[in-house]
């Protein structure tokens, strides 16, 4: 009985290996022989996620990132970095450098444990402009039953965060020689 099960397992393993080897895939070097569009040829030649210039997503050459130039980030790199720095005291729930969206998780200050805040930051383009970032702040307060309830937020708070991000982004640009 055990040998019968062993033979079935051996057959399955050999069949799987045979099918995997017959996938018909060609090696990367064979792909170069087929006609390609220029973009595919560049990708094959460079083999880098960040493209020809080798700009590093996590701390690359800012002179290449400038106004979004050759940066792989879909938005202005100075606004992106300044946004992350400004919001660093909040727990980051999600950060999408290609779409320019930063979502934080709820944050409660130890001095006001019955209030919590959440921030959504949108970077709106590749240019470093005054209207290039939009910050939305959400607030909740705990009621007497212990449930969180949405509260109105002073719009000035979002504008202050935007101003802080813009100021820091300009400083980063100046420091980079841009």
Q: What are phi and psi of 170, to 5 degrees?
A: -65, -40
pLDDT for position 4: 63
pLDDT grade for 69, boundaries at 50, 70 and 90: very low
Give the per-residue pLDDT at 44.
59
Residue 33 has pLDDT above 60, yes or no: no
* pTM higher than the cut 0.85: no
Give the pLDDT band of residue 48 (cuts 50, 70, 90).
Answer: very low
Residue 22: pLDDT over 70:
no
User: 117-151, pLDDT tens digit by residue?
Assistant: 999 999 998 999 999 999 999 999 999 999 999 99
Nearest to 70 by CA among 51, 86, 46: 51
Residue 126 phi/psi, 5-degree rounding, is -95, -5
In this prediction, residue 63 carries a pLDDT of 45
Q: What is the pLDDT of residue 35?
A: 61
d(Cα 98, Cα 171) in Å, to the nearest integer? Answer: 22
The pLDDT confidence band at residue 36, using thresholds 50, 70 and 90, is: low
**Is residue 106 scored above 90 in pLDDT?**
yes
* Strand-pair category, 101-104 with 92-96: antiparallel
Residue range 73-175, CATH number? 3.30.530
pLDDT of residue 178: 63
Distances (CA, A) of 149 to 52, 98, 117, 139, 142: 50, 33, 12, 8, 6
**92-101 pLDDT, tens per residue?**
999 998 899 9
* Arithmetic mean of pLDDT over the chain: 78
Q: Is the dihedral of CA 74, 80, 84, 87 positive or negative?
A: negative
Of 135 and 6, more confident: 135
């Amino acid at each position: 009985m055990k040998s019968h099960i062993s033979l079935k397992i051996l057959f399955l393993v050999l069949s799987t290996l045979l099918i995997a080897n017959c996938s018909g895939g060609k090696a990367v070097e064979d792909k170069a022989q087929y006609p390609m569009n220029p973009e595919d040829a560049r990708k094959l030649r460079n083999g880098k996620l960040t493209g020809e210039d080798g700009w590093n997503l996590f701390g690359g050459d800012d002179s290449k990132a400038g106004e979004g130039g050759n940066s792989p980030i879909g938005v202005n790199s100075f606004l992106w970095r300044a946004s992350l720095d400004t919001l660093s005291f909040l727990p980051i729930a999600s950060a999408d450098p290609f779409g320019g969206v930063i979502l934080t998780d709820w944050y409660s200050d130890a001095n006001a444990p019955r209030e919590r805040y959440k921030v959504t930051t949108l970077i709106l383009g590749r240019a470093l402009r005054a209207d290039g970032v939009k910050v939305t702040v959400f607030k909740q307060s705990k009621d007497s039953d212990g449930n969180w309830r949405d509260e109105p937020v002073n719009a000035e708070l979002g504008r202050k965060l935007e101003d802080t991000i813009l100021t820091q982004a300009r400083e980063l640009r100046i420091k980079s020689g841009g």
